[in-house]
Amino acid sequence: MTGITRMIERLQRIYPSPATAEALAADIERCCQAFCDNRSSSRLPRLARWSEDDVILISYGNSLQLPQETPLQTLAGFLERRAAGLFSSVHILPFFPFSSDDGFSVIDYRQVNPELGGWEDIERLAASYGLMVDLVINHCSRESLWFADFVANREPWCDYFIEMDPSTDVSGVTRPRNTPLLTPVHTHRGVRHVWATFSEDQIDLNFANPRVLLEFVQILLLYVERGARFIRLDAIAFLWKRVGTPCVHLPETHEVVKLLRDVLERVAPDVVLITETNVPVAENLSYFGQGDEAHMVYQFGLPPLVLHALNRGKSDYLTDWAARIPALPGGCTYLNFTASHDGIGVRPVEGLLPAHEVTDLIDCMHRFGGFVSMKANPDGSQSPYEINISLFDACMGTRRGLDHLQVPRFLCSQAIMLAMQGIPAMYIHSLTASPNDLARVEQTGRTRSINRRVWPADELEQLLDNPVTPQAEVFATLARMLVCRRQQPAFHPDARQEVIRINSDLFIFKRVDDTSGQVIHAIHNVTDRPLDLPLAALGFLTLGLRDLLEPTGEWRLGCVLTLAPYQAVWLTT
């Protein structure tokens, strides 16, 4: 089957009209051919899609600022001075002109926000790191030119958005927010109500109009042309709407993801497509398709389960979940993270954590200065959607209260993420042990701002230079972990993972690289007590063992491994 034939068949599952599918396929093929004809010969494809060397840093374009530089220049300089050799890739959160939500309400998809810098700054980063770019595909800003033309009833943009009679019953639509789904807009045709899943400033796009899909194929190709190695499909689960359904994970949405992968396979087969779907685990994994959809999905169950284990001092639920992670389709892997620009989602643990455990965790996070965002349910009620807190401050104690073990508890959370099967992504505010930013919450009025600190770069540098600060201790320890992690074949995303059950005080899994023969046991004490682990309990038959995180430590058969509170060990022969 030729590429164009497969594309037509794919598009006919989205748009039933054969004429529409054929015309759109021809337009997309012309875009792909133009991209290939104009592609720079300096962009060479990668020999492999990923390896153990892959570690991603997540940052806003303005997470670090100096008055005499653009923020993107400041970030690049910080990475060169402080983080050389620590990360292979950088995820710059939406760096486009925007009107709200710290970038996720995009005004212009094809421009860099001049307050951050320009395309030359993005390309500078892309020259040194694999670049992850957000394709904010579900919605755009009501301040965009597209929406202005919709308001003015100009072709073709008058059909770029979804109008709905306000009397329509939309109570069955799955909601990630508790705001009204339909928002009124004054247009040249009078007041119209448009679909707005996330906020009244983020208006959903109408992908039932094939022109909208073509527009985003062109935007996707622009990002690849500018150096993107990873494309993150933001809020993709909500893309297609059909009244009478939950309007989430609809078949047309999955077909759009597969189409975008087909486009990438055609023009840049080494580029990785990632879906961002903050939903229960089984729904999240559906975006692998049959190995023909996303290359990577976010491991959304990991952050709340790791936090729960460290907060509770018991690994039972984390171990049970990890032991049931299904085998990956070929050419697919997970993106592992414990913190991000968003909060710590609680929907992914539906069916994994009992309701009272979730409630207890939320109550504890409230005591540590955090908040909780709510979502609307079909029956009119509300339920927790995510916890808003910096991960560093989420680790300041346990359910029994505050203690002095915040730093080792937090570092244990990062060691778990770095060792698990997949590609780890570390939020810059984890790297810098950023505390809750309550002043920013008060300034913006948004609880998510608690974990979106904007550091004056000189202030952060002073903290990192002072060895007694938690920022310096965390940064230095994570730097050693990252350098070590990137050298281990057993941490290749495709290396096997096996969970080992000893007791609820420990979270243990084994990583095995069949090519090199390397085996690493990742052992984590999730309690605030010292623990003794007889090495025979792990079935070791070798005399010489060492901890990659503490290379001077060595154990022999029959010895006992003594773990400090929250200590992580990467044990190998």
**211 annotated as belonging to a binding site for a ligand:** no
Instruction: Give the strand pairing for 333-336 and 296-298.
Output: parallel
Is 448 marked within a binding site? Answer: yes
Whole-prediction pTM: 0.96
Residue pair 298/337 in contact by the 8 Å Cβ criterion:
yes
Among 67-81, 100-114, 222-236, 376-390, name the one with the lowest average pLDDT.
376-390
Single-letter amino acid code for the residue at 487: Q
d(CA 215, CA 401): 52
Give the pLDDT score at 40: 61
pLDDT, residue 348, reads 92
Closest CA to 2 of 185, 205, 262: 262
CA distance 438 to 441: 5
Residue 458 in marked binding region:
no
pLDDT tens digit sequence for 30-52: 999 999 998 764 556 667 899 99
CA distances 164 to 169, 172, 183, 451, Å, are 10, 15, 10, 35
User: With 80 as the cut, is the pLDDT of residue 555 above it?
Assistant: no
Residue 287 has pLDDT above 50, yes or no: yes
- Within 10 A of 264 (CB to CB), how many other CB atoms are there? 20
Q: What is the CA radius of gyration of the chain?
A: 24
pLDDT value at residue 4: 87
Please give the pLDDT value at position 559. Answer: 84
341 is in an annotated binding site: yes
Please say if 379 is a catalytic residue: no
Q: In this predicted structure, what is the pLDDT of residue 146?
A: 98
pLDDT digits (tens, 9 = 90+) for 190-211: 999 999 999 999 999 999 999 9
Q: Are 525 and 515 in contact (CB under 8 A)?
A: no
Least confident of 75-79, 432-436, 537-541: 537-541
On whether 342 is known to bind a ligand per the annotation, the reply is yes
- pLDDT confidence of residue 553: 62
Instruction: Please name the amino acid found at residue 137.
Output: I
Residues in Cβ contact with 550 at an 8 Å cutoff, skipping those fewer than 6 apart: 569
Asked if the model's pLDDT at residue 2 lies above 80, the reply is no
Give tens-digit pLDDT for 500-541: 999 999 999 999 999 999 999 999 999 999 999 988 888 775
Most confident residue range from 238-252, 272-286, 368-382, 531-545 = 238-252
pLDDT at 468: 96
| Active-site option among 54, 134, 234, 437 | 234
